[in-house]
């Protein structure tokens, strides 16, 4: 270390729950390494965090690093200078152990400017143990047909609403993207990631909307705009049987005092029976600062974020899986769900079935994402809209938002 | 027939007794004026008669019917308020017909009544206007119109002219008087203005502290005020009152002001038999300013020559139509109304003629009129 | 008349700062609405493209329709509620002070809290519906919050709850300043309480009513925090409102130019309300001056 | 002088006896309304005393089975926002540090400006006044970015001072409007008498106008205080971490989507955070209505 | 020395000309009363003199110094307002000393001046009170005190008594008059009340539509009104005015009312030389009500017996101190003030004595006084 004490100013949206706990733990590590940890969690929604980031960038005072993800990294990197991390990434030999799709997002102009911190799949299927018992089912569903059958079974077993999802915008998006990717990851990639016009109007997307409708009908309509977390108790108690959610729900469940053996996590339904991975990765982008202590802090932070031990610690708190594919998940502290997620990622990458999540802003920039989610959430909430109509609306939305 | 008869009426607000046992009988066709200082309970009395307030005690009869429990609209009265209380959002026409509308009078009849009243008060051209577009005098007329369409047993007026300027007040005063003569209505009229009271009333009720001090025709009230309060309240400038001594003299009783002083004033009295028992005692003497005039004045209708006194002049106020002089009678201050041309010099001594026929004597204890 | 320096500073500096920030901010927004700005403001010229895009978007159309419905319903009902409460409180009833405080206290609460609390109460799963179910009336249904046709009414309810106290206060003041003689005159004319209010008292409250309507309308048009906390535009996008759309475009979707265009449209709606009001005040002022 | 309209009696001079049944009806309606208006507060208060499990098992509406006073302790100084587990206590202090100076400044400056506009006519006063009051209607979202740029240029970004400045300037719209409407009713002869006595602009304001202003100052203080205290958008955007106002902490608590809801603590925090403004309305409400009357209806 | 001298003063509000070329010279020690109907510009004039308003044109000199550009506080004036304009939040003491405080007068001196004034006005016991705790008369006194401590060159009073009730007004009027006599201040006093104007003024300025109609001592204004406006404005009831014809007769000019009618009234005039050129022409005759009295009245100071006419009585209004009679002279309505005891019957014809020495004649075109 040089003469200066490394210092890091960071803004993120993680303020509470397991996310808050994880970032706090990261901060502790940073301080253990002799740094000064100045983290400003922004309460509220992502928008508030971005407002703050924008305000600071406009003011010429960006944080040393800030939470940002997906294509937004590329968009934002154009409005303010970022730090070139290539050297430190190379030194850590990090590139080899990161999924290539993911790596691409973090080096938009060919240089590393941001580092992913953890990975989730947004389409993991959570099965309530008690719910399964109630429905006398023992096998997790693999295809959407299996899923639908199981849901019906649960319903006849007395569960009014077999699916425990919530009603927020990303939640509605997840219902749709899980359906779509499970039906055809190829069509998903073409339509939602590449915005291919033909794929956007193809039969797969229509089938995805139809499947989404089924899921929506099995959800508690009373949840309104509340998050899925409202339903967790009913889910664990077996009043609801299934939940399509990212791995972060494990952290929430843990935080709420539920046990790992209350539920099972499996990859979301995939009609070709090979796991589909809807990639969602949180990341930090590093903004150029002149101050020596901040620069030192940025290097220290980068090293920490890439450190397998730190990634292990972090993922174990939040329920995600490490970005590094070379972390061993067989040890204590990892759940079956995490192991299965990691395995799914490996398989999906192998079969080219790892795609970027739309609902969590990994597939498109915010403006486009929001326009698409508008259509999806309206569809979810309004069962009078037919799938074909939804398809054409989605295509229109893409057209006008581009 | 008594149009209104009030018996032992009292009104109490919390611990404040505003009216204390009022008795009044008002004949049909009378124009009764209620005067008294501010806060003496005039409006309260009117409101109770109208049914807008409840009496604490006593009975009110209108047209021979006890109305204590009758709501205002069924009392067969009409009221004109000091603020006129015109409905601001209605036209003059609606203001006048609103009461008939409430009582369900037929449209045609309403129109007829309206036309009559509008003609009487000469407000035909104003019928379509809103109150805010009227001058003070016009508003007053509309307020009258609203009362007149009703043709009630009893009109109640609460200082209806006090918001008008002096000129207009005089005109409206005459108009109301003519109106009363023409339609022969029974009216109770509250005012602060003594000229109004004196000129309009057939009878005046002078109130003070919730009690009717005197209820009589204007001349009686002016000439024979029942007590010192009435004497000092009516008239402007008010009656001069001063302590004096009643003595017996050869020709009859003599009232002495400033007895024993070098400038004592001795006034012989004629026809003051009632005062006989006060001979040798202190009394309060009252003499109106117009009964003290310049030395060469001949009082109209006087039998003999006036009593002439010389007195020091303190202040002279020529008002144009007359000159008000502040002088001292036997050391007591008094005001005189003398001819406008005459301007005594302040500080000098001048002679004044006194009209001793109209002197009043009051008991200094009870403050009541002796004679 | 104002000659000396400290006076000059004390009066003009705050007034000019305030006026200047309003004017310059408005001009800035108008300028941005013609630029291709996305994440941050940039120079450029795209003509009316941002406006056409906003006007063509479903979000804006829904928001605009909602604004008409919400604005009308909210203003009307809060007016009626405020007036009714004022009339009731005007009846010399006992405990008036306490009641007045009760009707006013929602003004003290932040919209965020209001939205959150009403979202609990109106949520059928945990709120009133659940309570009634637990009490045994299982067929009871009160699920407006999650019913996309009725959800806008939940915003109306919460907004009325929050701000009808303001209308009540103004109306009450108006009622209290009505000349009691006028009411007495009406009594003598034989008008009952209802007729008295309807024909005599209420017509005098026009100026207050207009003030209340304008204040509430501006609240309706700029309603934001409340909606965000209560429904956040949902279910789906059923309860979008212009203020939400502006915020969303500017800050969530990183389409500053379009957001600015939407903001300018919002300003135009506001002006459409305010200009007639200003004209009315002007005419009234002139008339008063002539009377 | 504006008279205190709300004080004494008033209303229709109804005759007490003949209206007995309808009076019962009046009380009934008023009581129902009062219950409806109180309901949300009651619910929050009750929930602040219930454990989370209890709420989850029944509904949001219910009587606490065990008084969970702990919720308050937790809300006040226990729950965690990011790495700091200090409850909302420090944020309350921040809110006070922003709200109190901004309220004082905007009220005082607004009073001076309102006084100048209403009692010392000068060229263009009506225009300035019109523009300033239009500020009441300018949507907040529109001002966020311009403020960012302004604060950057004057170097006040990320400071409480910057927020005080924003709230002071924006608050002027309201304070000038209300003060002006109030002062317009003050007889001009008072000013004239003072000018003949030789008093200048400030002495007249300080010695004569200000002592008469308490009704309207109460209104503006209450209004400004509650609005600034409850403000959220600027507070979050322009402050950082431990400097954020209490509304930010509340949002952190309630918008934690990735957490099981803690209704109990949340309710307790809501109550604590709303306490200052509620108390202000409780004690100042009567003057608020009175002053509002004097200042609004013109 | 002229305390105040106004030259060609005019004031325009937008398109409204409120003052039109006013010229006034007021001597030191004078008590000038400004009267005129509402809206004629009295307050505007006072405000311009005080420096509270700017003149559109003309100059104002106070104590020989042009003050057009001097701020109010440096004009050496004091002003008493109709509403008193007491500072509501200050005690009486502070109200009175505030001006001295502003001028930086030493504390001890303030106390002395305060003590003097308080003694003069007898408000010592009130010094610690707030204005809201004072009665109307007390407030008025404090307002006076505030002006008096200043000891200025010029006092300006804008209807200082109009908010008081009748009794108090009379008392305060006398007090102000005494005060003027005692301290010999120069005063400009605006009032609506003619009695105030007549009794207090050393000179009266009658204003109408922004023009001074007449500026003279009260007797001249009353006796020789410069024009019909002044004649009808001053006096209550106002001067009777009626069209008449001036004819030449043996003994001199005769004015004929209702010429050619059976009941025509012929009044011989003496000493009206100025009217000679009007013989044979129409004039407007003015006669004050107090110059028409009961038939047996002897007018004080009259050389010969009065002219007696008989006239029909229309309306009788006894005010107590006198009786106002509405009669017809040659068909023209006129009011008479007769003795209080005498009550002619309305409708009947009675004889009246006319004091023809005080008749005024006006040109019907220019409305100016002929003689
Ligand atoms: N509602 C009330 N409560 C308590 N006291 C009242 C009420 N109404 C009137 N008073 C008191 O009753 C007394 C008489 O009032 P009222 O209005 O009858 O006087 P007034 O003779 O009409 O006076 P004014 O000539 O000033 O109109 C006053 O002292 C007044 O303060
Ligand atoms: N600021 C102003 N703008 C326009 N016109 C005004 C203004 N001030 C006064 N006026 C007009 O000037 C005229 C004279 O007003 P002023 O107050 O001097 O009358 P006044 O003689 O004092 O009347 P009053 O006896 O009622 O007090 C009135 O017609 C009034 O309307
Ligand atoms: Mg009264
Ligand atoms: Mg005036």
Could you read off the pLDDT of D26-45 as tens digits, one per residue?
A: 889 999 999 989 988 888 88
- Ligand 1 geometric centre to CA of E120 (Å): 35
User: How many angstroms separate the CA atoms of C180 and D94, rounded?
Assistant: 49
| CA nearest neighbour of E296 among E354, E237, E343, E221 | E354
Predicted local confidence at residue D10, as pLDDT:
37
Q: Report the alpha-carbon distance of residue D22 to residue B195 in Å, rounded.
A: 47
DSSP-based helix, strand, coil % in chain C, nearest 5:
75, 0, 25
Share of chain D above pLDDT 90, in %: 14
Q: Are B283 and B363 in contact (CB under 8 A)?
A: yes
CA distance linking residue D124 with residue C11, whole number of Å? 13
Pocket of ligand 1 (CB under 6 A): B 13, 16, 18, 36, 38-44, 192
Mean pLDDT throughout A200-222?
A: 92
Name the pLDDT band for A3 (thresholds 50, 70, 90): low
pLDDT for residue D75? 81
Res A7: pLDDT: 93
* pTM higher than the cut 0.90: no
Quick: pLDDT tens for B317-328. Answer: 888 888 999 999
The pLDDT assigned to A186 comes to 92
Bridge partners of A83, per DSSP, are none
Between chains, do D157 and A52 touch, taking CB under 8 Å as contact? no
Compute the nearest-CA separation of D125 from chain E (Å): 17
Strand E240-249 versus strand E282-287 pairing type:
antiparallel
Please list the pLDDT of chain B residue by residue as tens digits (371 residues). 688 999 999 999 888 899 999 999 999 999 999 998 888 899 999 999 999 988 999 999 998 899 998 988 888 899 999 888 999 889 999 999 999 999 889 999 999 999 988 988 888 899 999 988 888 888 988 998 898 888 888 999 998 888 777 777 887 888 888 888 888 889 999 988 888 899 899 999 999 999 999 999 999 999 999 999 999 998 888 899 999 999 988 778 899 998 888 889 999 888 888 888 888 899 999 999 999 998 888 887 777 788 899 999 988 888 888 899 999 998 899 999 998 888 899 889 999 999 988 899 999 999 999 87
**Which pLDDT belongs to residue E182?**
83
Question: What local confidence, expressed as pLDDT, does residue A113 receive?
Answer: 93
Q: Is the pLDDT of residue D280 over 70?
A: yes
Of the candidates C279, C244, C215, C266, the residue with the CA atom closest to the CA atom of residue C152: C244
The answer to whether E290 contacts B321, with C-beta atoms less than 8 Å apart, is yes
Picking from A227-241, D170-184, D281-295, E9-23, which range would have the lowest pLDDT averaged per residue? Answer: D281-295
For every one of its 291 residues, what pLDDT tens digit does chain C have, with 9 covering 90 and above? 445 666 677 777 888 888 888 899 999 999 999 988 888 888 888 888 889 988 988 889 999 999 999 999 999 999 999 999 999 988 888 888 889 889 989 988 888 788 888 888 888 877 788 888 878 888 887 778 877 788 889 889 999 998 898 899 888 888 888 888 888 888 888 888 888 888 888 888 887 888 788 778 878 877 888 888 888 787 878 888 888 888 888 888 888 899 999 999 988 888 888 888 788 877 877 766 554
Give me the sheet containing B360-362, strands edge to edge. Answer: B265-268, B252-257, B240-249, B282-287, B360-362
pLDDT of D68 > 80? The answer is no
What pLDDT does residue D260 have? 63
D15 touching B (Cβ < 8 Å):
yes
Please indicate if any CB of chain E lies within 8 Å of the CB of B195: yes
- Asked if the Cβ–Cβ distance from E73 to D208 is below 8 Å, we say no
Output the CA E26–ligand 4 centroid distance in Å: 20
Contacts of B322 in chain E (CB under 8 A): 290
- pLDDT score, position C1: 42
Residue to probe by mutation, ligand 2, list E43, E163, E212, most atoms within 8 Å of CB: E43
The chain B residue lying nearest E336, using CA atoms, is: B321
Residues C170 and C166: their CA atoms lie apart, in Å, by 6
A308 phi/psi in degrees, rounded to 5: -55, -40
Whether the predicted pLDDT of D2 surpasses 60: no
Structure tokens at E223: 């006796």
Strands ordered across the beta sheet of E65-66: E16-27, E2-13, E57-62, E65-66
Tokens (6 digits) for D229: 């205290």
Q: Supply angle C-alpha B106, B110, B116, rounded to 5.
A: 150
Does ligand 2 lie within 6 Å of residue E42's CB atom?
yes
Q: Is A55 helix (H, G, I), strand (E, B) or coil?
A: helix
Chain-chain contact of A230 with D255 (C-beta, under 8 angstroms): no
Distance between A30 CA and the closest CA of chain C, angstroms: 31
- Note the pLDDT of residue E194: 83
Q: Is residue E22 classed as helix, strand or coil in its secondary structure? A: strand
Which of A286 and A102 is assigned the larger pLDDT? A286
- The per-residue pLDDT for B187 is 94
Does the pLDDT of residue D58 top 70, yes or no?
no
Q: What is the mean pLDDT of chain A?
A: 88
Whether D86 has a pLDDT exceeding 80, the answer reads no
- Contact: C108, D27; criterion CB under 8 Å: no
Return the pLDDT at C180. Answer: 85
The pLDDT-based confidence of A65 (bands split at 50, 70, 90) is very high
Q: Is residue A218 predicted with pLDDT exceeding 90?
A: yes
Residue A44: pLDDT band (50, 70, 90) is low
Task: Indicate the residue of D189, D194, D196 with minimum beta-carbon distance to E78.
Answer: D196
Give CA torsion, residues C209, C215, C217, C221, to 10 deg.
180
Exposure class string for E164-186: b at 16+ Cβ within 10 A, else e: beeebbbebbbbbbebbeeeebb
Residues of chain E below pLDDT 50: none
Give the residue with greater pLDDT, D285 vs A106. A106
Q: Which residue of C has its CA nearest to A167?
A: C235
CB pairs under 8 A between A and C: 95
pLDDT reported for residue C38:
85
Has residue A295 got a pLDDT over 90?
Answer: yes
What are the strands, taking DSSP E only, across A230-334?
Answer: 242-245, 263-267, 277-286
Residues 6 or more apart whose CB falls under 8 angstroms from that of D117 comprise C15, D125, D128, D129, D176, D180
Considering A17-21, A381-385, D99-103, D178-182, the range whose residues carry the highest mean pLDDT is D99-103
Contact indicator for D292, D6 with CB cutoff of 8 Å: no
């Amino acid at each position: 270390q040089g003469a200066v004490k490394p210092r890091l100013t960071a803004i993120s949206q993680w303020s509470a729950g397991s996310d808050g706990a994880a970032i706090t733990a990261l901060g502790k590590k940073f301080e253990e390494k002799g740094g000064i940890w100045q983290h400003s969690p922004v309460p509220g929604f992502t928008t508030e965090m971005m407002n703050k980031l924008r305000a600071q960038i406009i003011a010429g005072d960006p944080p040393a690093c800030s939470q940002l993800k997906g294509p937004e990294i590329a968009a934002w990197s154009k409005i303010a200078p970022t730090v070139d991390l290539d050297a430190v990434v190379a030194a850590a030999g990090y590139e080899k152990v990161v999924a290539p799709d993911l790596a691409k997002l973090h080096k938009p102009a060919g240089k590393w400017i941001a580092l992913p911190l953890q990975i989730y799949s947004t389409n993991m299927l959570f099965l309530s143990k008690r719910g399964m018992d109630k429905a006398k089912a023992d096998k997790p569903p693999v295809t959407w047909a299996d899923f639908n059958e199981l849901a019906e079974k649960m319903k006849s077993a007395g569960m009014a609403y077999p699916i425990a999802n919530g009603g927020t915008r990303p939640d509605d998006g997840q219902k749709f993207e899980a359906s779509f990717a499970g039906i055809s990851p190829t069509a998903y990639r073409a339509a939602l990631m590449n915005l291919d016009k033909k794929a956007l109007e193809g039969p797969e997307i229509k089938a995805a909307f139809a499947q989404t409708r089924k899921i929506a009908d099995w959800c508690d309509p009373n949840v309104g705009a509340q998050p899925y977390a409202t339903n967790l108790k009913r889910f664990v108690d077996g009043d609801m049987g299934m939940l399509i959610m990212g791995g972060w729900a494990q952290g929430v469940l843990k935080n709420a005092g539920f046990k790992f053996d209350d539920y099972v996590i499996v990859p979301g339904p995939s009609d070709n029976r090979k796991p589909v991975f809807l990639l969602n990765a949180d990341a930090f982008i590093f903004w150029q600062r002149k101050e020596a202590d901040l620069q030192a802090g940025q290097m220290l932070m980068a090293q920490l974020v890439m450190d397998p031990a730190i990634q292990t610690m972090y993922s174990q708190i939040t329920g995600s899986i490490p970005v590094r594919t070379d972390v061993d998940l067989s040890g204590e502290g990892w759940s079956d769900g995490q192991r299965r997620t990691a395995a799914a990622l490996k398989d999906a990458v192998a079969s080219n079935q790892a795609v970027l999540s739309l609902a969590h802003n990994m597939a498109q920039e915010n403006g486009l994402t929001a326009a698409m989610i508008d259509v999806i959430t309206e569809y979810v909430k309004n069962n009078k809209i037919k799938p074909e109509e939804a398809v054409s609306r989605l295509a229109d939305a893409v057209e006008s938002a581009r | 027939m008594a149009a209104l008869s009030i018996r032992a009426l009292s009104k109490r607000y919390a611990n404040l007794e505003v009216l204390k046992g009022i008795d009044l009988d008002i004949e049909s066709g009378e124009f009764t004026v209620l005067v008294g200082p501010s806060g003496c309970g005039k409006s309260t009395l009117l409101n109770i008669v109208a049914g807008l307030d409840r009496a604490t005690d006593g009975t009110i009869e209108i047209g021979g019917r006890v109305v204590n429990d009758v709501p205002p609209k069924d009392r067969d009265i009409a009221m004109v308020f000091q603020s006129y209380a015109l409905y601001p959002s209605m036209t003059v026409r609606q203001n006048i017909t609103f009461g008939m509308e409430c009582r369900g009078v037929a449209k045609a009849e309403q129109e007829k009544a309206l036309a009559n009243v509008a003609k009487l008060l000469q407000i035909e051209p104003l019928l379509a206007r809103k109150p805010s577009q009227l001058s003070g005098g016009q508003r007053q007329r509309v307020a009258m119109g609203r009362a007149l369409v009703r043709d009630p047993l009893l009109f109640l007026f609460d200082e209806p002219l006090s918001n008008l300027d002096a000129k207009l007040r005089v005109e409206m005063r005459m108009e109301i008087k003519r109106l009363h003569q023409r339609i022969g209505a029974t009216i109770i009229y509250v005012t602060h203005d003594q000229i109004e009271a004196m000129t309009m009333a057939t009878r005046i009720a002078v109130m003070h502290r919730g009690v009717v001090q005197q209820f009589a025709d204007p001349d009686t009230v002016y000439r024979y005020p029942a007590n010192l309060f009435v004497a000092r309240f009516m008239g402007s400038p008010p009656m001069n009152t001063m302590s004096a001594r009643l003595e017996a003299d050869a020709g009859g009783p003599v009232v002495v002001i400033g007895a024993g002083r070098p400038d004592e004033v001795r006034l012989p009295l004629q026809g003051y038999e009632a005062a006989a028992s006060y001979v040798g005692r202190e009394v309060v003497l009252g003499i109106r300013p117009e009964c003290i005039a310049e030395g060469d004045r001949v009082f109209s209708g006087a039998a003999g020559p006036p009593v002439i006194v010389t007195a020091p002049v303190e202040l002279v106020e020529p008002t144009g139509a007359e000159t008000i002089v502040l002088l001292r009678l036997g050391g007591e201050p008094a005001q005189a109304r003398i001819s406008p041309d005459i301007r005594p010099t302040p500080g000098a001594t001048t002679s004044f003629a006194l009209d001793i026929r109209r002197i009043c004597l009051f008991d200094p204890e009870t403050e009541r009129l002796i004679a | 008349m104002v000659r000396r320096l400290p006076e000059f500073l004390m009066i003009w500096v705050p007034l000019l700062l305030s006026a200047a920030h309003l004017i310059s901010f408005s001009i800035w927004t108008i300028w941005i609405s013609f630029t291709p700005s996305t994440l941050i403001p940039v120079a450029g010229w795209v003509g009316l493209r941002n406006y056409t895009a906003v006007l063509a978007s479903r979000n804006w159309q829904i928001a605009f329709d909602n604004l008409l419905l919400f604005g009308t319903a909210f203003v009307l009902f809060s007016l009626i509620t405020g007036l009714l409460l004022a009339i009731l409180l005007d009846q010399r009833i006992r405990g008036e002070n306490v009641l007045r405080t009760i009707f006013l206290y929602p003004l003290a609460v932040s919209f965020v809290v209001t939205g959150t609390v009403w979202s609990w109460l109106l949520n059928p799963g945990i709120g009133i519906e659940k309570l009634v179910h637990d009490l045994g009336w299982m067929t009871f249904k009160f699920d407006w919050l999650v019913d996309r046709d009725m959800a806008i009414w939940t915003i109306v309810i919460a907004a009325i709850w929050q701000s009808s106290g303001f209308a009540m206060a103004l109306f009450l003041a108006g009622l209290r300043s009505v000349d009691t003689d006028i009411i007495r005159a009406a009594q003598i004319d034989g008008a009952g309480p209802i007729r008295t209010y309807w024909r005599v008292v209420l017509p005098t409250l026009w100026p207050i009513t207009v003030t209340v309507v304008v204040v509430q309308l501006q609240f309706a048009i700029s309603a934001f925090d409340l909606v965000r906390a209560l429904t956040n535009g949902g279910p789906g996008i059923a309860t979008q409102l212009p203020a939400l759309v502006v915020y969303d475009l500017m800050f969530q979707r990183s389409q500053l130019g379009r957001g600015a265009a939407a903001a300018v449209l919002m300003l135009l709606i506001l002006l459409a309300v305010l200009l007639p009001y200003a004209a009315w005040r002007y005419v009234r002022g002139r008339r008063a001056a002539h009377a | 002088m504006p008279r205190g309209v709300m004080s004494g009696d008033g209303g229709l001079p109804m005759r007490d006896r003949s209206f007995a049944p309808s009076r019962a009806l009046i009380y009934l309606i008023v009581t129902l309304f009062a219950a409806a208006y109180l309901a949300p507060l009651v619910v929050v208060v009750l929930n602040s005393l219930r454990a989370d499990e209890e709420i989850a098992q029944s509904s949001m509406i219910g009587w606490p089975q065990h008084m969970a006073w702990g919720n308050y302790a937790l809300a006040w100084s226990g729950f965690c926002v990011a790495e700091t587990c200090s409850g909302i206590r420090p944020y309350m202090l921040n809110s006070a540090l922003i709200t109190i100076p901004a309220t004082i400044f905007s009220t005082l400056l607004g009073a001076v400006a309102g006084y100048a506009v209403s009692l010392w006519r000068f060229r263009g006063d009506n225009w300035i006044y019109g523009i300033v009051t239009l500020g009441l209607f300018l949507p907040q979202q529109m001002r966020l970015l311009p403020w960012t740029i302004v604060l950057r240029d004057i170097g006040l970004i990320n400071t409480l001072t910057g927020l005080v400045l924003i709230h002071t300037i924006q608050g002027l719209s309201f304070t000038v409007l209300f003060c002006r409407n109030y002062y317009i009713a003050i007889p001009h002869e008072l000013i004239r008498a003072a000018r003949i006595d030789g008093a200048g602009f400030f002495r007249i304001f300080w010695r004569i106008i200000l002592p008469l202003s308490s009704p309207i100052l109460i209104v503006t203080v209450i209004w400004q205080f509650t609005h600034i205290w409850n403000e959220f958008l600027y507070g979050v955007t322009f402050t950082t971490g431990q400097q954020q106002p209490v509304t930010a902490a509340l949002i952190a608590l309630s918008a934690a989507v990735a957490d099981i809801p803690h209704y109990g603590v949340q309710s307790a925090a809501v109550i604590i955070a709303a306490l200052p403004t509620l108390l202000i309305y409780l004690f100042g409400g009567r003057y608020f209505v009175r002053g509002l009357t004097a200042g609004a209806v013109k």
